[in-house]
Structure formats: structure tokens, C-alpha cells
Amino acid sequence: MSMKTCDNSVLTSSELISSLRVNSLLVNSLLILLIGSFLLAASFTSYGQEGEVLRIMSFNIRLDTPDDSVNQWKHRKADLCAEVQRHDPHVMGVQEAMNNQMVDLRKCLTGYRSIGVARDDGKKQGEFSALFYKKKVLKPIRSGTFWLSETPDVAGSRGWDAACNRVVTWAEFKDKRTRKHFMAFNTHFDHMGDTARVESALLIIRKVAELTGYKSVAREMPVVGEKPVVGDVPVILTGDFNVTEKHRAYRILTYPENEVVLTDSRLRAKDKTGPDHTWVTFNPDFEASDVIDFIFISLDVEVLKHTIIDFRKTGRHLSDHLPVVTEVVLK
């Protein structure tokens, strides 16, 4: 069997069959590409394009003290910074960072800037609960600090039955990729005072409502040329709360009738990985059981993934807490 082509050349039967096979392969390849493109588009529709995803980290890095011996900060800082850079968060809330640790973090975390003051004097004395942010992606619009006490605007004030001064560092950011705004709050609740933890949760809910504009416009002046968003702005709260999900303070933060409703990102995540504990100490024989480090988010934030990073698998103890990372999309 043979047939003529458009230029009157003749194809044999074997050549014709070969041509049909090639055309069939091309059609199949095109179908696979189309199906792949459809699935990829559907995936982005469900989970948000990569350019919209925000990675949020909360990390109690453990203060610098010689009491930790081989686990003192100077032995941990290089690996800790490498771990942070590996996960590449857009925002990271740290707890227990002393001033020298803040200096080290600013040096080793390439591409990041920080916001926050020390808790004892509002400058450099005592621990920071600072926010680090990726400067190429996020622009801070306004920021500030308040103390977890009966006088939250007084630097160095201690509240209720707390053993230590405690602060909340906050900032409004604009995502340069999407131009969307969100508020980030970072804190470290007291480890001793139970009343302080409950009252701190109540104060945070009030301050979040105030600073997001649900009660009143914040008094802090925004960056020149930018206007803060008032009301309906997504909220992210990171921290070491020194309580589990069974504690009253946790229930206050996640109470569904708050003016700004916050939820536990781990419970809302489509994908959850990591152990069910965050406080691990430096003792390899310690039987960890409690999650006390959380990332809370408002309802207008979609949670894609939540991870508790277990660095102990590598044989390293970067801190006495495991860091928490969540990936979100602002609605």
C-alpha cells in the first residue's frame, strides 16, 4: 500500500504507519500537557499561587546563658540561623532573644530586618520578643510595643502575678507582591503567673481590636506616604504562650465571639506535619508532650500548611523549643 503526499511524493505502507504513530504520540503528549496545566491551575486556585503564600515562623531561641554549657548560644547560633534561612520565613517572631542574640541574628539572617525593643527598659535591657521580616517582600507601615501589664504603655512594667516583664511586639505590613496588608503580633507569656497569662490574653484581644481599627484608629503615626488599613485587616499572632490548648488563656484567645476572632493555625491547616509538642528542653531523654508555641490567625487567612520542625532528628539541639512554621494566604 502507498499514498501520495501534497508534493506528489509517495509514502509506503510502513512509512504511513510510522507517521501515524508519531502523530499519535504528539497528540498524547499534548493531552498530557493540557491535563497537567489544568491540574496545576486547580492547585494554585485551591492553595494560592506561590507569590501569594506567606511563611510565618515562631521560634523561642532560648536566651544566652552560661548555665547551658555546651548548649549555650555561641555553640548554637550558626546552626540555628541556617535552619531559619532553610525554611525562609517571610515573618518570624522570636522569643527570649537577648540584645547580643539580636545582634547576631541581624548579622546572620541575610535579607531580614527586625522590629522590637527589650522588655526591661524599652531599649536593650532584657529579652526581646522581636519580629524579623523579609525586606524584599514586606514593607512595615507602622509598628510598636506594649507591655503585658495593667499599664501597657509604660516601658518595663510588670503585670499581675508575673515573674518577669513581658511584651508584645506588633507591626502592620504590606506585601509588596500583592499589596495586601496584615498585622503581625509576637509575644512570650509568663512562665509562672497564671493570672498574668489569663490577663495577658484578655489584653491582647483588646489591643488587637484597637490596633486593627475595630475600636479606634491607632495613635501611632504611619510611615510617610503610606496609610494604615483600618478594620478587616488579617491578623497573625505568634508566640510562646506557656500554656496548652486546655488552658483558659488559650480559650480566651480563640473565643469565637471576640471582636477579632483568632484560631489555631495547626487546627485549620490542610497539611500538618511534625510532632505534637514544642517544648523539648536540651535533655535528649526528656519525654516531651506539650505544644505551648502557637501561631494564631484570623478567619480571613487561609492556612495551607503547619509544621513543627523537629531539628533533633539531626542530632542537634538548636533550642529548648521546636520552631513552628505555617504557610498562609491572605484572603
CA distances from 165 to 6, 33, 126, 144, 195 (A): 87, 59, 9, 16, 14
3-state helix, strand, coil in the chain (%, to 5): 30, 30, 40
pLDDT score of 239: 98
Query: Average pLDDT, stretch 278-287?
Result: 94
Least confident window among 28-32, 56-60, 193-197: 28-32
Q: How confident is the model at residue 43 (pLDDT cuts 50, 70, 90)?
A: very low
Which tens digits make up the pLDDT trace of 125-168? Answer: 999 999 999 999 999 999 999 999 999 999 999 999 999 999 99
Neighbours of 286 (CB within 10 A): 12
Please state the separation of Cα 284 from the chain's center in Å. 27
Query: Quick check: 248 pLDDT over 90?
Result: yes
pTM exceeds cut of 0.75: yes
Q: What is the distance between the alpha carbons of residues 57 and 309, in angstroms, rounded to a whole number?
A: 10
Grouping H, G, I as helix, E, B as strand and the rest as coil, residue 294 is strand
Query: Average pLDDT, stretch 31-45?
Result: 42
Q: What is the distance between the alpha carbons of residues 83 and 72, in angstroms, rounded to a whole number?
A: 17
Which tens digits make up the pLDDT trace of 284-318? Answer: 899 999 999 999 999 999 999 999 999 998 888 99
